[in-house]
Structure 1
């Protein structure tokens, strides 16, 4: 028996399950406006990370990696100065107060999980001092670097 073509349901997407049947995804398709907003947010985030990296390099840090995704989390910047490796979370918001409040408990847990995964893949890091820093960017001001912003869980 030939398979039926993709059924259409307004505002939803269909996907073929592992059994070959069609199933409906719970989330609706993105509108072009939502896609544009998401792309603009992505660009702002990338710019903020480059600005944060420039500020850290002026302070003497050397970049090791950017945008590292591991174990369900993401590390925005990994930098080194001397015997210290700093895993940096970058937050850009309209004001510094909003940026500082943007790192919650769940984000810290994901960040820590990603750090542990990165350290397990890079054995040279075990002999160095590891810390979690944050760089906050608000408005048009210079980035604010917060050293040892929160503990890395599980290290």
Structure 2
């Protein structure tokens, strides 16, 4: 009987992403947010978390790296464009949200550090 093959690098990365998103969701819930969606994929992009608190809907990018500073640098211009495309798609399917305050936030995670929630990290240009 042979041992099962070890998980691929891609599978380990996906698992780490799910774990980071779960930590970020917990942090946001502790801050009073309600999670509306996780891993919303559309329009050629993905929104890790969509959360609401009061009149605000936050589209949250989650980045985990060895250090918080490296996580902060991981939101590239291309990632911002794909995120805004996915937000536009989500808003098209959820017209109730158009009258709300809309933000693109981020939660950064690093080893040995508390997760950091940064509101309004990406400017939403929806017009």
Q: Flag whether TM exceeds 0.5 (same fold).
A: yes
Say whether 1:139 aligns with 2:111: yes
What RMSD in Å do the two structures reach over aligned CA positions? 1.2
Return the alpha-carbon distance in structure 2 between the equivalents of residues 129 and 74 of structure 1: 20
Cα distance per residue 1:101-127 (max 9 Å; x no partner): 000000000000000000011010011
Aligned mate of 2:60, from 88, 94, 97:
88
**Higher relative contact order at CA 8 Å, sep ≥6: structure 1 or structure 2?**
2
Which deviates further from its counterpart, 63-72 or 136-145? 136-145
TM-score normalised by length of structure 1: 0.77
Return the alpha-carbon distance in structure 1 between the equivalents of residues 18 and 112 of structure 2: 16
Task: Give unpaired runs (5+ residues) of structure 1.
Answer: 1-31
Flag the structure with larger Rg. 1
**8 Å contact kept, 1:74–1:111:** yes
2:8 aligns to what SS in structure 1?
A: helix
1:57 aligns to what SS in structure 2?
A: helix
Deviating 4+ runs (over 6 angstroms): none
Cα distance per residue 1:35-68 (max 9 Å; x no partner): 6111001000000000000000000000100000
Task: Give unpaired runs (5+ residues) of structure 2.
Answer: none
Displacement of 1:79 in angstroms is 0.2
Return the alpha-carbon distance in structure 1 between the equivalents of residues 121 and 108 of structure 2: 11
- Aligned pairs, number: 123
